[in-house]
């Protein structure tokens, strides 16, 4: 297929690499497929549905690891430097996808591909090298055991090009830590669901890419208009530009959004020590950004002394500041920065890692674990040294790290004696740093999201408590009336559904959630790139298709509506601080789930998509 047969924004090519047979092939995708799934999350969802056999072990060669960019990847609009990774999750046993920022996806696009499907398992460590349409499988025995920076540096050196982009795993992925992530450019992660473990299970150490083909844009003038609008409205993103994520932690703590000590508490006196402002004022050396993005929201930190941190690994985002910070009772910013560096070096998801450690700390404090189990570590809330030591053990599956590498559910099963009550997860995926007892819609989102507890394809209810506040340009929904954060009636459910779909569209394009841009501008960007006469309605349908297909994948794996649930802990109020008299209303959640299913065209009891909805979405 030549370029003339595919829209702007696409190469029309998927690279397929079978590591068992060491064969590489290129497959063409057509315009109809692109328009039905767009890219990114749409593509990896489709291929999971189409190509993964029911019941396979996620760490078996039968699983496939998929990377996809989208029509927007690498074009000159802010937030276009992202890609999506998907596979059957070793953490949930179901559908998974995760996005990452940076430059790697752009390089893949420029190398001539819209996606990669990795099959089988190499008999010894390898890496994949893709450059300007060419691809080869190369020996990685010398890289195995190395952290991400050593790996990246070695690959760049041996291929003789410093501008190569590398997505790689560290020891965490190699040791099949169930929540190992895939790190690109040392500081960006396809974090959730254990994509790094799947990579490790295939003996695939890294994927290095380099390309020079500029993505084709059909109507560049329209993109320019968007860029100009974006630059002219700097006040919409100035805060992210100045501080990055974590700039509102003090207010959020007071409101009750931030978990403390494994979601048990709401009070944390040291909160001001671990905010983005604290980072800026103490350890930050600069800000960096992704491809083509003037937001530059990524902190880069450097620490000397006992917790020395290499600035090559970037700096902690909000999720990390909270997950290995206050949610472990830790207020030592340098220790948190060190923990962040370790996770990036070892390829561990900081959210799951933080939740796992918080879980272990609570088990320890409740006598379910002791120093014999931990190898002498006093694994208590607030013990920064213990947190860092535990990350090391997990990454190499040493001592208690072996059990904790399995994630909270499996670890709780092993520990027994009610430890499961401390496992803060949905479907096995650990919960991000946003409190459903404050945000009722977010709790619904945690429960029904196909890949488990997720904050990215979710509603942050507090944004909707003022009529229309910030929504016209930031989100696609001017809303009429305030919807209280803790409200979960049909209006909130309906709003959640729209928000979820808008965010899935971004993951299909792939475009960063931080770019202030309503669904219409998303439509305009897509139309400009591809030349399609498309519409927001058609795009929302792509999101519906993707979500329904993800649901079908989970149903194939035995998931039911009963798996759309929150941990019991949320039925109790927090022990102190904000919301200390406010449990999550589980009865309301049941009703909300049913209403959500109905809005999605799924059976209101079972959550199974109706045959008519499948037909409507061309998923027969």
Site residues (vs a copy of itself, CB under 8 A): 32, 35-36, 467-469, 471-472, 476-481, 489-491, 493-494, 498, 518-520, 523, 527, 532-538, 541, 591, 595, 598-599, 601, 610, 612-613, 615-616, 618
Please, which residue, 144 or 586, has the CB nearer to a copy of itself?
586
Least gap, CB of 478 to a copy of itself (angstroms): 4
DSSP code of residue 568:
G
Least gap, CB of 583 to a copy of itself (angstroms): 23
Please, which residue, 137 or 614, has the CB nearer to a copy of itself?
614
Cα(62)–Cα(40) distance, integer angstroms: 22
Least gap, CB of 570 to a copy of itself (angstroms): 23
| Four-point Cα dihedral 471, 477, 483, 489, nearest 10 | -160
Is 176 strand, coil or helix? coil
Is 520 strand, coil or helix? helix
Least gap, CB of 534 to a copy of itself (angstroms): 4
Least gap, CB of 342 to a copy of itself (angstroms): 43
Please, which residue, 575 or 605, has the CB nearer to a copy of itself?
605
| CB 130, CB 207: distance < 8 Å | yes
Per DSSP, which regions of 101-203 are E strands?
115-119, 126-131, 134-139, 165-168, 182-184, 188-190
Please, which residue, 55 or 478, has the CB nearer to a copy of itself?
478
Least gap, CB of 542 to a copy of itself (angstroms): 9
Least gap, CB of 202 to a copy of itself (angstroms): 34
Please, which residue, 281 or 472, has the CB nearer to a copy of itself?
472
Residues written for the chain: 620
Cα(414)–Cα(457) distance, integer angstroms: 31
Cα(493)–Cα(12) distance, integer angstroms: 37
Please, which residue, 133 or 489, has the CB nearer to a copy of itself?
489
Is 318 strand, coil or helix? helix
Please, which residue, 358 or 515, has the CB nearer to a copy of itself?
515
Least gap, CB of 561 to a copy of itself (angstroms): 17
Least gap, CB of 353 to a copy of itself (angstroms): 37
Sheet holding 13-18: strands in order across?
23-28, 13-18, 115-119, 65-68, 83-86, 97-100
What tokens appear for 497 in the block? 């559904």
Least gap, CB of 488 to a copy of itself (angstroms): 11
Please, which residue, 498 or 584, has the CB nearer to a copy of itself?
498
Residues 6+ apart with CB under 8 A from 244: 276, 279, 287, 297, 298, 299, 315, 317
Cα(611)–Cα(603) distance, integer angstroms: 10
Please, which residue, 341 or 518, has the CB nearer to a copy of itself?
518
- Residue the block writes with tokens 């079972």: 606
Least gap, CB of 508 to a copy of itself (angstroms): 14
Q: Is the peptide bond before 91 cis (omega within 30 degrees of 0)?
A: no
Cα(191)–Cα(153) distance, integer angstroms: 21
| Four-point Cα dihedral 219, 222, 226, 232, nearest 10 | 130
Please, which residue, 87 or 561, has the CB nearer to a copy of itself?
561
Cα(285)–Cα(303) distance, integer angstroms: 10
Please, which residue, 262 or 536, has the CB nearer to a copy of itself?
536
Cα(201)–Cα(167) distance, integer angstroms: 16
Could you give the angle at which helices 350-365 and 333-346 cross, rounded to 10 degrees?
Answer: 120
């Amino acid at each position: 297929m030549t370029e003339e047969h595919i829209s702007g924004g696409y190469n029309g090519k998927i690279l397929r690499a079978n590591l068992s047979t060491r064969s590489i092939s290129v497959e063409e995708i057509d315009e109809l497929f692109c328009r039905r799934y767009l890219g990114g999350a749409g593509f990896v969802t489709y291929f999971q549905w189409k190509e993964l056999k029911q019941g396979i072990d996620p760490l078996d060669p039968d699983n496939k690891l998929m990377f996809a960019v989208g029509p927007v990847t690498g074009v000159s609009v802010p937030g276009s430097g992202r890609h999506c990774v998907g596979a059957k999750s070793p953490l949930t046993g179901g559908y998974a996808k995760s996005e990452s920022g940076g430059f790697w996806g752009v390089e893949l696009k420029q190398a001539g591909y819209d996606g990669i499907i990795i099959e089988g398992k190499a008999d010894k460590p390898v890496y994949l090298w893709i450059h300007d349409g060419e691809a080869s499988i190369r020996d990685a025995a010398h890289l195995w055991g190395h952290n991400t920076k050593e790996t990246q540096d070695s690959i760049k050196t041996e291929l003789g090009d410093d501008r190569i982009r590398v997505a790689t795993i560290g020891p965490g992925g190699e040791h099949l830590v169930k929540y190992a992530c895939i790190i690109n450019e040392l500081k960006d992660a396809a974090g959730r669901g254990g994509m790094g473990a799947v990579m490790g299970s295939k003996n695939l150490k890294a994927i290095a890419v380099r390309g020079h083909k500029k993505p084709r844009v059909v109507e560049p003038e329209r993109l320019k208009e968007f860029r100009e609008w974006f630059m002219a409205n700097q006040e919409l993103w100035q805060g992210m530009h100045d501080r990055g994520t974590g700039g509102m932690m003090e207010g959020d703590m007071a409101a009750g959004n931030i978990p403390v000590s494994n979601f048990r508490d709401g009070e944390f006196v040291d909160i001001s020590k671990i905010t983005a402002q604290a980072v800026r004022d103490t350890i930050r050396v600069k800000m960096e950004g992704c491809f083509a993005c003037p937001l530059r929201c990524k902190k880069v930190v450097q620490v000397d002394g006992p917790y020395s941190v290499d600035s090559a690994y970037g700096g902690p985002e909000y999720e990390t500041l909270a997950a290995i910070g206050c949610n472990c009772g830790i207020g030592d910013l340098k220790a948190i920065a060190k923990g962040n560096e370790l996770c990036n070096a070892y390829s561990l998801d900081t959210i799951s890692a933080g939740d796992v450690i918080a879980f272990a700390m609570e088990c320890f404090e409740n006598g379910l674990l002791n120093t014999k189990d931990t190898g002498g570590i006093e694994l208590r809330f607030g013990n920064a040294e213990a947190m860092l030591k535990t990350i090391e053990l997990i990454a190499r599956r040493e001592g208690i790290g072996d059990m904790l590498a399995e994630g909270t559910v499996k670890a709780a099963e092993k520990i027994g004696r009610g430890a499961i009550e401390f496992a803060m997860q949905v479907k096995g995926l650990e919960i991000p740093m946003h409190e459903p007892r404050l945000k009722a819609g977010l709790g619904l989102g945690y429960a029904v999201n196909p890949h488990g507890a997720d904050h990215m394809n979710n509603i942050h209810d507090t944004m909707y408590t003022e009529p229309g506040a910030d929504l016209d340009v930031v989100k696609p929904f001017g809303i009429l009336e305030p919807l209280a954060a803790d409200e979960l009636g049909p209006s909130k459910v309906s709003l959640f559904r729209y928000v979820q779909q808008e965010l899935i569209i971004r993951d299909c394009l792939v475009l960063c959630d931080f770019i202030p841009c309503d669904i219409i501008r998303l439509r305009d960007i897509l139309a400009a790139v591809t030349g399609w006469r498309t519409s927001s309605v058609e795009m929302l349908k792509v999101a519906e298709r993707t979500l329904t297909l993800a649901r079908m994948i989970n149903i194939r794996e035995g998931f039911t509506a009963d798996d759309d649930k929150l941990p019991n802990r949320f039925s109790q109020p927090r022990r102190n601080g904000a919301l200390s008299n406010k449990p999550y209303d589980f009865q309301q959640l049941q009703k909300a789930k049913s209403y959500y299913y109905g809005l999605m065209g799924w059976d209101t009891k079972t959550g199974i998509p109706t045959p008519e909805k499948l037909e409507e979405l061309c998923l027969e």
